């Protein structure tokens, strides 16, 4: 499957590399290709530069948001929540129309420092905002409730025996996303319902941040016992 992953940060890199491992043809999308490839210093978390990472993943193309999305059957939004709507607008509504758009972003607001608050909550969600902005896309919210390493390799924790959620209005789109999640190793995929249920998944983030602080590691997840 041809997949565009929009966003070249830690999450986008993790998702893109894993999808290539699984046999998909993946293109990373960014605002400015030359500027992105010119990043030669470590990022804010001390990770290797994008230029170094890209050189080690030569099977991944890097294009603008629009070019990457136009050539893909599925588009993954791995941009920061604050910039997601702008990034997807740059990708172009015509390049998202009729396609599954997997939204794994979170509406984190760092304006008051750390830990961040949510810029949207309770009666709305970023997932819903994306669906309203791009009504012809098939938005599915998922994977936003865990750290990037667990998104792509869930078996490293409890042999993968923990839960991941999907929210979206289109059942066929959710089935495609569920198959992708299973291929990554996720064993317990729970369909929460339509895109409004993304509110609950996004509102888990404030608690997730506190749990991370208490445990001193992001390698944890929830398990729905039933």
pLDDT tens profile 184-209: 999 999 999 999 999 999 999 999 99
Q: CA dist 201 to 34, 36, 63, 124, 143, Å?
A: 35, 30, 30, 12, 9
Which residue shows structure tokens 């172009």? Answer: 92
Q: Is the pLDDT reported for residue 40 higher than 80?
A: no
Please give the pLDDT value at position 89: 98
Please give the pLDDT value at position 88: 98
Judge whether 225 lies within some domain: no
> Band of the pLDDT at 67, cuts 50, 70, 90?
very high
Judge whether 207 lies within some domain: yes
Report the CATH number at residue 31.
3.40.50.720
State the average pLDDT for the chain: 95
Judge whether 54 lies within some domain: yes
Judge whether 88 lies within some domain: yes
Q: Is the pLDDT reported for residue 37 higher than 90?
A: no
Please give the pLDDT value at position 113: 87
Instruction: List Cβ neighbours of 55 (8 Å cut-off, separation of 6 or more).
Output: none
Judge whether 226 lies within some domain: no
Judge whether 167 lies within some domain: yes
- Distance from C-alpha of 210 to C-alpha of 195, rounded to nearest angstrom: 26
pTM for the model stands at 0.94
Domain that holds residue 210: 2-215
Judge whether 220 lies within some domain: no
Domain count of the fold of the chain: 1
Taking only the tens place, the pLDDT of each residue in 111-152 is: 888 888 899 989 999 999 999 999 999 999 999 999 999 999
Instruction: List Cβ neighbours of 182 (8 Å cut-off, separation of 6 or more).
Output: 189
Q: Is the pLDDT reported for residue 11 higher than 90?
A: yes
Judge whether 223 lies within some domain: no
- By percentage, how much of the chain surpasses pLDDT 70? 99
Please give the pLDDT value at position 216: 97
Q: Is the pLDDT reported for residue 44 higher than 70?
A: no
Give the DSSP letter of residue 196.
G
């Amino acid at each position: 499957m041809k997949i565009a992953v929009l966003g070249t940060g830690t999450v986008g890199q993790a998702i893109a590399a894993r999808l290539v491992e699984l046999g998909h043809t993946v293109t990373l999308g960014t605002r400015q290709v030359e500027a992105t490839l010119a990043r030669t210093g470590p990022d804010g978390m001390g990770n290797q530069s994008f230029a170094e990472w890209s050189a080690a993943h030569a099977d991944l193309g890097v294009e603008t948001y629009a070019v990457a999305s136009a050539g893909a059957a599925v588009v993954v939004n791995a941009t920061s929540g604050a910039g997601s709507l702008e990034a997807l607008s740059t990708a172009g509504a015509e390049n998202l129309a009729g396609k599954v758009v997997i939204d794994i972003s979170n509406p984190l607001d760092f304006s008051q420092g750390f830990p961040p608050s949510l810029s949207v909550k309770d009666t709305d969600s970023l997932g819903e905002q994306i669906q309203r902005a791009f009504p012809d896309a098939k938005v599915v919210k998922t994977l936003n409730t865990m750290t990037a390493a667990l998104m792509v390799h869930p078996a490293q924790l409890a042999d993968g025996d923990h839960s991941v959620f999907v929210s979206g209005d289109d059942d066929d789109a959710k089935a495609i996303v569920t198959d992708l999640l299973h291929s990554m190793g996720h064993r317990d995929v729970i369909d929460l319902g339509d895109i409004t249920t993304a509110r609950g998944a996004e509102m888990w983030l404030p608690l997730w941040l506190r749990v991370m602080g208490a445990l001193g590691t992001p390698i944890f997840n929830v398990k729905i016992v039933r």
